[in-house]
Amino acid sequence: MANTTIVLEGELRTEFGKGPSRRMRAAHQIPATIYAGGDQPVYVKLPMKETTLALRHTNALITVKYGEDSKLAVVKDVQRNPVKRIVEHIDFYEVKAGEKIDVEVPVFVEGTPKGAAVAFVDIQELKVRADVSNLPERIIVTVDGLADGDKVFLKDLALPEGVELDMEDLDESVVTVEVPQDAPLTEVTEEQEENVPAIDESNPAA
């Protein structure tokens, strides 16, 4: 669970547009916007290195400081350069202590299915609702001992305490365990080749 609050020291920004944004990034700063419900957004610039490291934590709770003020927020959207992959802009959403919010959490698989079976993730991210102080970074699905044809459905998930699914069809599969199509075919073909008797081409009656 993402219990640790990350602190980023930023500054208010008063310049907008592509030109100022390019100058900020050249100065190793990232332009960002903090949305706060119906209130006016707060526009800040954040240190590139520290902010990029913070983004490695999914659903991290971040305190953004600017001047004498600060806001508790979570990341809602990150814009990256499609070529260089550097962060170009971040949208934050302000949250309050004790508030429950909806977030998307990636699915991770652990364990080993039986035999040649492989686990395939059917839903890459799950929508969940949780307290801002206890947001999960990932949902773990264990596939130890599962066999070909087995599925793990939304209703089967063991969620962390205080986390609720915010999805409609609980009978939808999250993970499917299957033997890849080429695996059994290759094995059968090899066995068949070993068991086929040799043909004596010198004997026409063979």
Domain ranges for the chain: 6-95, 102-178
Cα-only R_g, the chain: 26
CATH code reported for the domain at 6-95 = 2.40.240.10
Percent above pLDDT 90 for the chain: 64
| Strands 87-94 vs 42-47: parallel, antiparallel or unpaired | unpaired
Cα–Cα distance for residue pair 128/203, rounded to 1 Å = 72
Q: Are 154 and 174 a contacting pair, CB within 8 Å?
A: yes
The token pair at 113 is 């299915």
The token pair at 98 is 């004790």
Residue type at position 206: A
Cα–Cα distance for residue pair 9/68, rounded to 1 Å = 11
The pLDDT-based confidence of 113 (bands split at 50, 70, 90) is very high
Cα–Cα distance for residue pair 156/152, rounded to 1 Å = 6
Report the topology of domain 102-178: RNA Polymerase Alpha Subunit; Chain A, domain 2 (2.170.120)
Percent above pLDDT 70 for the chain: 86
Place of tokens 């979570």: 74
The token pair at 152 is 């793990």
pLDDT of residue 194: 47
